[in-house]
Structure 1
Amino acid sequence: MNKKTFKIFLLVVSILSIYKIVEYRVTKKLDAYLITQELNYDTLSINLLFGNITLENVSKKKDSLQLSAEKLEIKGVSYYQYLKNNSIYIQDLKTINSTITGKILKKGHKKETRKDSSKKAPLDLKIDNIDFENVEIDIQKNDNFPLTVKNISFVINDFELDTSQNKSIPFLYSNLEVSVIDFETQYSKVQKVKFSKLIFEKDNLSLDSLEIVPLKSREKYIYHVSEEKELMTLLSEKVVISDIKISEKEKFNFTANHILFEEVFFNLYLDGTVLEHPDKRKDLYSKSLRELPFNIDIKNVEIKKSKIVYEEYTIEGNKPGILNFDNLNAQISNINNNSVRENNVTTAKIQSNFMKYSPLDIEWIFDINNKNDNFRIKGSLFDVNSKNMSSFLLPTMNVKMDGYIDKMYFDFEGNDYTSNGKLNLDFKNFNIKVLDKDKSKKKVLSWLANLFIKDSSKNGIVKVATENVERDRTKSFWNFFWKNVEKGLQNSLI
């Protein structure tokens, strides 16, 4: 080895030695810092040349939550950005096979810390790519109900932390992709929600096998709620939301071009025999949407091949009254609570078969930002027989109706207080039977009921108007709609 080669060799060895010494000291300092942050791990390795950090078997306890990962990789840390701009820039952040367990504490349980009088400058953090693979969750929420997820994976590109303002989304990004497998959580003593798969990518979200299911039987659920309410079952094969945009200026904003619900089964069961009906206001849909704590703008909602079943148990010993809406399809346009937008009229067009065989068409119009909650609902119903009419009235009111409705056209306009409208009927052979508890006919009451039925209206076409039908504001919009139909039938028959 000549003298020149020896000098080069010595220089290389010196550089490598210095590098290793610096890397060792940086590792020690980082190790000491991570201990102060209560971050536990088995091994820590650093590559100063490329700005890479790797931790294996990492775990951290945050309040009552335990976070762990098989591996945490940080690549491409920029020394230049840190030294010149006092900011943290990272090319890639990745975790592999992570778990989150424990319990989310209520805010009141959080330990108070003294506020530093000297305001710290907001942290400037930028990460080109974040990749969390195979995250498993098994936690207890602050309402003491469980939440489990078998697998979450997500990728965020061009992540930038934004703590300069008090925002609900304190970061910016250019792209987000999320995959969730087997999500399940309980949200009350009697209900839970779950789905098999969620995919979010390129501003589109798809949800497979969405379910909201009871945890208690129909006989027992009412004893586990604080007030009279329905037990819900919802099953949807597919939910697709297209062109989602989320932003935040003065308020959180959610927009979507199209939402599709496919093959939905929606069942509501009410036990009205145990608890009193709550004396609590139920807002119309326009008011509920108007008063959301965020802005919403959905261009179109579509419901395909679905079914709605409403059951009400009101008289002990009777079966529940039942209303079926089969083969339901709906198109809803312009769900928007932006008060400065010119066109805020929401239109819903619904087609279904009432009680399997009676075609029902509804067009429903309302303005979310109208403070009086004005609405108009019109439509038609054909071929309703006595069995269908009595399926709800007989179990809930001990009233049986015989006859046949050939055609019914309705058109009602109203607001949060009252409504007016018209009802056109073409029906045959109407007869009312009032039954006692053992289902035998109460002859005197039935005779009186039929005595007051107009002779001319037992058969034929009748056109009637309804005026000043008052809304019970402790009940839903659909109860109000039914009161208008009921008033029209009374005016037609009596």
Structure 2
Amino acid sequence: MKKWVKKLLVGLGVLLVIVLLANFGINIWLKTQLPDYIKNNTDYNVSYKSLEVDLLSGNILAAEISVNNKNPKNINVIGLQGTIDTLKISRFGIYDALFNKQISSSDLLLSKPNLNVILAKPVDDKTGKKRNPVKFENIRINDGNISIFKHTKQKFLSVQDLDLYVENLQLTEESVENRLPVVFDTYDIKGKNFFVRPDDVYALKIDAINTANGQMTVNNFQLVPVLDFEQFKKYYPKKNKLFQFAIKKMEFKDLILKKDKLSLANASFYEPNLLMYTTDVIPVKAKKPSDFELSLENIKMSNATVQVMKPNGNKLLYAKNLNIDVNQLRFDKETREELIPVGYKNFQVSGKDVLFSNHQDFTFGSVVLNPKKGEIKNISILPNGIASGKASMNLTTDYIRFTINKWDFTDKKMNLDINEILLNRVKGKIIAGTNKPVSRKKPDFSRIQFPIIIRKVALQNSDITYSKNNQPLSFQDLNATVNDIRLVTKKDNSGIEAKINKYAISTKNFGYKTKFYTMTAGTLKLDQNTINVSSFAMKPLVSRAQFIKMIPVESDLYDITASQITANGTWDLFSDQKLIRASNVTIRNADAVIFRSKIPEDDPKEKPLYSRMLRSIKIPMVVNALNLKDSKLVYEEDTPESAGPGKLIFSNFNMNVKNLNSGKIKGNPTRVDIKINCSFMNLAPLSVNWNFDVADQGDRFAISGRTTNLPATGINPFIRPYLHVTATGTIQEMLFNFRGNPKGLNGKFNLKHKDLKVAILDKDNREKKGFLTAVANLLVKTDSGKLPEDVVVEDVERDPTKSFFNLFWKGIEQGLKKTLIGINIDKAKKTADKAASTVKAVKQDVKEIKTSARQIGQATKKKPDAEKPKEEDSEKKGFLKGVFKKKEKSETE
């Protein structure tokens, strides 16, 4: 053997002996001197029955250990009090323990520990740095009873009968500040009576935890507030939610706790019960978003109950028998930026007896939802009277079903494509709100990807009433289908509008009630190309006398029926860009009675002509042909002087209107042509041609017409109440041709008549005034012979507060006066009045003469016979007799 090898072996042997002797010496020293050393150089008093230390490996084995703080009031170091049956430490960091006052080890075994641990204050008063006084790579606890307190002596965590194995456990108050009380990598745990109090509001209690083969079971989990709701509002005025949460049983595996992350897999929660109280406080937005992350691989919740309470103690949300199954649920930095701050792969939700309450109570018998479809059954919506003035619903429906083609989030925006929404048997009433809209900021739609697509909405077998201002609109047996709905933002970003491609609506016994009318229809069918209404009726709800008393100014009262109304064309009635383009609108068998009383005061508002009225319609609108067929129109007018209403009757009424428009479709002609053919007063044919141009700002119009072989008796129902005149004979032909504008009209009028006679009546229209009638008929030309020359109707001034037809009637009236009836009757009346005045004067003269004669006769009788009258007195008497005879003759005549 070489010399140097021999020396090396000897050296190593000596070194080994020295190490063994040192290790033996240290063990003897530790057994005899370590307690005193710890007592003199650390913050603890430690005693033990036995202690073995391997200096080379750093392994320590001790038995029957007792430990206490020397100064329990020192909150800058971790506090320890209790006993440990067996302590085993692998690779103990002796240097860190002696010089850095940090306990660190790769493995720690505690057998039957019974310890109270007081955590050190998280920030060093001198350095301002956070402490981490305990650091273990792995820890194992057998049959332990441990209580952990904050530095304030408030209990933080406690557990009994604890069997625990964790890797890389970190347990300091620093972890509390990151939301999680403990953090570790892997675990195996079993224990009873767990208690955790993470803050001053809540305490967490668990009856038992058990882990087997990586599967953890938690029994009777409870998160309970340590304050009642009134105390919570008092001591935490800026917080707006207080929770109470209980779970009968939880099962999960692969639990991972890190600083700001909690993840687990295959979690099942049995009979969870969540109760949340809310306040009116607006929550303070966090200055910095939380870094906390949650990842749940699979989560199931069975038979859950959820209650959310309003600040007044009433229920905001209530649901029971909830069952939730979520696949790959996560909440992290990525998802919290989305509109819905959680991500998932799939979910299934079901529940029963769900209640949601704002100013309405929404109750659902059952709910089933998943990312692709959903169904809600036995729905009831009732007003609860909390917010009067808001829109409200009193509805029930059998079910709502929907299917979804796509619902995801891309680039922080929600994409939604709904395949179908189906509502069945919706019954009840919707009442519009009366509150004025509150001005609000424009909504933020930056997180929604438009358009939102709804491919089909169907409403089936429903009875709905919509009421606004006490005017109900009702639909019975309502069926509606709307296809290809695209929800887009309005151009000014003030809201969302719907663009609809196809729709179809049908209903029976349609009804609409206003203050004065009820409108009904036997059936109503509507789609984007056709309208069909049958058995339409618009009936007054009040009598004419009641109507007159109810209106402040004169107005028309209508009574209208129509057997059928049809329309063909295209129209958009739902979007902001509304449009009506109809090729044909037909009204059949209409029967309209229009009544107007002149007893109320005149309406002082200006009455625009029809061209201006059409031009004021905001919707682009054109009707190529409007036809009114086989109809009847009756106009009745009543004045304080008339005895009963005057009446105009137009039967067999047929009207064709071409190009009825609002003048807002570029390139479309704007002239409106109207042709009317009817029977006037059921006696004579009447034809009218009328036109105007909607685009003409001057509102000029032209109207002409002709009637023939009209018995004069036919106009008596209208002229008798106003003129107190009746007529007989025949109007063989009447022609008129007028042109006008908003100021008045001019034109020509012609009348051919035969055997025309008139009768003038008293004010009560009962008795004929024979004298005036005789005078009138002397002045009226009985026969006109051939068609006379036209008379000029001119300077007919329009009262802007009257309708177009008032102006038109003034033109007819002037024409009649100039041709025949009006002017001659006026002459007859004037002649008769003059004659009556003469007779009245003569009677007065006769009365005065008789009085004078009596006086003279009395004077003559009193004188004696000797005193006879003189000759001049005789002459006076003769003169008086002559005058008297003339007066008597005149009176007789």
Q: Into which bin does the TM-score normalised by the smaller protein fall?
A: 0.7 to 0.9
Q: Who is 1:474 aligned against?
A: 801
Matched-pair contact (CA < 8 Å) for 1:418–1:468: yes
Q: Who is 1:207 aligned against?
A: 533
CA–CA distance in 1 between the matches of 2:523 and 2:357? 39
Q: Who is 2:758 aligned against?
A: 432
Secondary structure of the residue that 1:319 maps to in structure 2?
Answer: coil
Aligned 1:242-391 pairs, distance under 5 A: 242-246=568-572, 252-272=578-598, 274-315=599-640, 318-338=643-663, 340-341=666-667, 343-391=669-717
Structure 1 residues 122 and 256, CA, compared in 2 at 3 Å: closer, same or farther? Answer: farther
CA–CA distance in 1 between the matches of 2:373 and 2:668? 53
Secondary structure of the residue that 1:437 maps to in structure 2?
Answer: coil
Secondary structure of the residue that 2:542 maps to in structure 1?
Answer: coil
Equivalent position amino acid for 2:432 in 1? I
Matched-pair contact (CA < 8 Å) for 1:349–1:364: yes
Q: Who is 2:478 aligned against?
A: 152
Equivalent position amino acid for 1:400 in 2? T
Deviation string, structure 1 residues 389-437 (Cα, Å, up to 9, x no partner)? 2121002331222331111121111111121111122112333333212
2:324 maps to 1:45: no
Deviation at 1:186, TM superposition (A): 1.6
Q: Who is 1:58 aligned against?
A: 379
- Between 18-27 and 127-136, the greater mean CA deviation after superposition: 18-27
CA–CA distance in 1 between the matches of 2:684 and 2:571? 40
Aligned 1:29-178 pairs, distance under 5 A: 35=356, 39-48=362-371, 51-60=372-381, 63-80=391-408, 86-108=414-436, 112=438, 115=441, 120-121=446-447, 124=450, 125-141=452-468, 143-165=469-491, 170-178=497-505
- Between 297-306 and 19-28, the greater mean CA deviation after superposition: 19-28
Deviation at 1:352, TM superposition (A): 0.3
CA–CA distance in 1 between the matches of 2:403 and 2:807? 61
Deviation at 1:122, TM superposition (A): 5.2
Deviation string, structure 1 residues 99-118 (Cα, Å, up to 9, x no partner)? 3425211242x5x4864796
Structure with greater Cα Rg: 2
CA–CA distance in 2 between the matches of 1:251 and 1:405? 52
Q: Who is 1:4 aligned against?
A: none
Structure 1 residues 361 and 403, CA, compared in 2 at 3 Å: closer, same or farther? Answer: same
Structure 1 residues 258 and 130, CA, compared in 2 at 3 Å: closer, same or farther? Answer: same
Matched-pair contact (CA < 8 Å) for 2:498–2:575: no
Secondary structure of the residue that 1:413 maps to in structure 2?
Answer: strand
TM-score, normalization by structure 1: 0.86
TM-score, normalization by structure 2: 0.49
Matched-pair contact (CA < 8 Å) for 1:267–1:308: yes
Matched-pair contact (CA < 8 Å) for 2:755–2:782: no
Q: Who is 1:24 aligned against?
A: 325
Structure 1 residues 491 and 357, CA, compared in 2 at 3 Å: closer, same or farther? Answer: same
CA–CA distance in 2 between the matches of 1:93 and 1:249? 20
Matched-pair contact (CA < 8 Å) for 1:401–1:433: yes
Structure 1 residues 129 and 139, CA, compared in 2 at 3 Å: closer, same or farther? Answer: closer
Deviation at 1:154, TM superposition (A): 0.9
2:186 maps to 1:186: no
Matched-pair contact (CA < 8 Å) for 1:426–1:461: yes
Structure 1 residues 34 and 297, CA, compared in 2 at 3 Å: closer, same or farther? Answer: farther
RMSD: 3.2
Matched-pair contact (CA < 8 Å) for 1:384–1:404: yes
Secondary structure of the residue that 2:454 maps to in structure 1?
Answer: strand
- Between 21-30 and 84-93, the greater mean CA deviation after superposition: 21-30
Q: Who is 2:563 aligned against?
A: 237
Deviation at 1:359, TM superposition (A): 0.5
CA–CA distance in 1 between the matches of 2:616 and 2:608? 10
Deviation string, structure 1 residues 84-106 (Cα, Å, up to 9, x no partner)? 85211111111111134252112
- Which is bigger in relative contact order (C-alpha 8 A, separation at least 6)? 1
- Between 166-175 and 471-480, the greater mean CA deviation after superposition: 166-175
Structure 1 residues 81 and 259, CA, compared in 2 at 3 Å: closer, same or farther? Answer: farther
Deviation at 1:246, TM superposition (A): 2.0
- Between 310-319 and 406-415, the greater mean CA deviation after superposition: 310-319
Selected match of 2:816 from 484, 489, 493? 489
Equivalent position amino acid for 1:236 in 2? A
Q: Who is 1:6 aligned against?
A: none
Q: Who is 1:9 aligned against?
A: none
Aligned 1:395-434 pairs, distance under 5 A: 395-434=721-760
CA–CA distance in 1 between the matches of 2:410 and 2:508? 38
CA–CA distance in 1 between the matches of 2:408 and 2:447? 19
Matched-pair contact (CA < 8 Å) for 1:329–1:350: yes
CA–CA distance in 2 between the matches of 1:19 and 1:93? 29
CA–CA distance in 2 between the matches of 1:55 and 1:226? 51
Matched-pair contact (CA < 8 Å) for 2:489–2:495: no
Equivalent position amino acid for 1:203 in 2? N
Deviation at 1:160, TM superposition (A): 1.2
Deviation at 1:314, TM superposition (A): 2.0
Matched-pair contact (CA < 8 Å) for 1:430–1:458: no
Deviation at 1:139, TM superposition (A): 4.2
CA–CA distance in 2 between the matches of 1:432 and 1:315? 23
Deviation at 1:277, TM superposition (A): 2.4
Matched-pair contact (CA < 8 Å) for 1:315–1:395: no
Q: Who is 1:394 aligned against?
A: 720
Matched-pair contact (CA < 8 Å) for 1:168–1:252: no
Secondary structure of the residue that 1:440 maps to in structure 2?
Answer: coil
Deviation at 1:79, TM superposition (A): 3.7
Structure 1 residues 447 and 341, CA, compared in 2 at 3 Å: closer, same or farther? Answer: farther
CA–CA distance in 2 between the matches of 1:199 and 1:128? 21
Secondary structure of the residue that 2:300 maps to in structure 1?
Answer: helix
- Between 129-138 and 414-423, the greater mean CA deviation after superposition: 129-138
Deviation at 1:120, TM superposition (A): 4.6
Deviation string, structure 1 residues 180-208 (Cα, Å, up to 9, x no partner)? 221212222x2221212111135111111
Deviation at 1:77, TM superposition (A): 4.2
Structure 1 residues 118 and 102, CA, compared in 2 at 3 Å: closer, same or farther? Answer: closer
Matched-pair contact (CA < 8 Å) for 2:407–2:415: no
Aligned residue pairs total: 473
Deviation at 1:19, TM superposition (A): 7.4
Deviation at 1:135, TM superposition (A): 2.5
Deviation at 1:134, TM superposition (A): 2.1
CA–CA distance in 1 between the matches of 2:782 and 2:596? 38
Equivalent position amino acid for 1:336 in 2? N
Secondary structure of the residue that 2:810 maps to in structure 1?
Answer: helix
Secondary structure of the residue that 2:590 maps to in structure 1?
Answer: strand
Equivalent position amino acid for 1:375 in 2? F
Equivalent position amino acid for 1:395 in 2? P
Matched-pair contact (CA < 8 Å) for 1:27–1:44: no
Structure 1 residues 118 and 282, CA, compared in 2 at 3 Å: closer, same or farther? Answer: closer
